[in-house]
Amino acid sequence: MNRDETIKEKILDAAANRMLRFGYRKVSMDEIASDLVMSKNTIYKQFQSKVDLAQSLFKRLEKQINQELTLIEEATQDPIEIISKSVFFIQKQLSPWFEHFWGDIKTEVPSLYQDFINFRNEKISNVEILIQKGVKMEKFRKVHPAVAVGIYLGAINHVLNPEFLQQEKISFPDAIESVMDIWSFGILNKGKE
């Protein structure tokens, strides 16, 4: 990594740290520069604007997620395992961004928010493809993939609520594992009438 790339990464790290805590709207380039003990001009040499900085944060996050998903898919052919690990990883990576950052981005930089929605929809369609693959491999019953994904994502979104996790005294990984278990095997005790 050359000097410019190193500086760019430090700026992205500082911006992510602030924007995850306070959101996009409440963070200024002056604050990021102050955190880094560097001039604002140094930041502007790397990023033309705060919007450019936010877009670069998303591109970096998107790249990290895509790299990990590729590794997950290369490690196994089991669609159940791929779905479970992929959704767990994506939720873990994206969850911190929802509280402050994406809410601000939706109104402040709508084009970036649309990029995020497109990325999310692409990942959802990949899960549908994995379900279709699982049906062909007879790992899954014949189900409508879009409905199965909707049910799964709805359950995931519900249990990701920090208040729910605290109230039920369940960890994030245990909650995801429970959703995956119930989604995969249902709640009926097969064989008992």
Give the amino acid at 33.
A
Q: What is the pLDDT of residue 100?
A: 83
> Could you list the residue range(s) of the whole structural domain that residue 126 is in?
3-185
Q: What is the pLDDT of residue 162?
A: 67
**How many domains would you assign to the chain?**
1
Q: What is the pLDDT of residue 99?
A: 74
Q: Count CB atoms within 10 A of the CB of residue 12.
A: 19
* Dihedral angle over CA of 131, 137, 143, 148, nearest 10: -20
Asked, for residue 191, whether it belongs to a domain, the answer is: no
35 Cβ neighbours under 8 A, 6+ residues apart: 14, 17, 18
CATH number of the domain at 79, please. 1.10.357.10
Asked, for residue 190, whether it belongs to a domain, the answer is: no
Asked, for residue 192, whether it belongs to a domain, the answer is: no
Q: What is the pLDDT of residue 150?
A: 85
| Cα(172)–Cα(157) distance, integer angstroms | 11
Mean pLDDT by groups of 10 residues along the chain of 193 residues: 91 96 95 96 95 97 96 91 84 81 90 91 85 87 86 76 80 77 76 52
pTM, rounded to two decimals: 0.79
Asked, for residue 57, whether it belongs to a domain, the answer is: yes
Asked, for residue 193, whether it belongs to a domain, the answer is: no
Asked, for residue 158, whether it belongs to a domain, the answer is: yes
Paired tokens of 31: 């604050």
Task: Report helix, strand or coil for 18.
Answer: helix
